[in-house]
Amino acid sequence: MAKTGQWSNKVLAIIKTGNTQAAIAQIKVAPTVKDLNQLKAALLASGLLAKQKPIEIVIEESTALLSAPRLHRAP
């Protein structure tokens, strides 16, 4: 598994290549909420979040799912 921070950088690279479907697939299996928040911050900093509405929606949905106490992923 990628270390904290590496996951968000890798997904950001996928988004920058324009492969939205692959990025969405990776976001749906995000390891933690912290990783999703780092990805969202990186997208905001690069200005890509405004251009990628489907990705923003998936980040919000995945954050909500991982925040639920019964749906945390096993390590």
How far, in Å, CA of 70 to CA of 6, rounded? 26
Model pLDDT, residue 21: 95
Residue 55 lies in a domain: yes
Name the token pair of 24. Answer: 């969405």
Residue 41 lies in a domain: yes
Model pLDDT, residue 65: 87
For residue 40, the enclosing domain spans 6-67
The residue type of 54 is P
Model pLDDT, residue 75: 63
Residue 12 lies in a domain: yes
Statement: the pTM of the whole predicted model exceeds 0.85? no
Residue 75 lies in a domain: no
Model pLDDT, residue 70: 66
Residue 74 lies in a domain: no
Residue 1 lies in a domain: no
Residue 11 lies in a domain: yes
Positive or negative CA dihedral for 21, 25, 30, 31? negative
Residue 26 lies in a domain: yes
| Number of independent structural domains in the chain | 1
In tens, the pLDDT along 14-72 reads 999 999 999 999 999 999 999 999 999 999 999 888 888 999 999 999 999 888 776 55
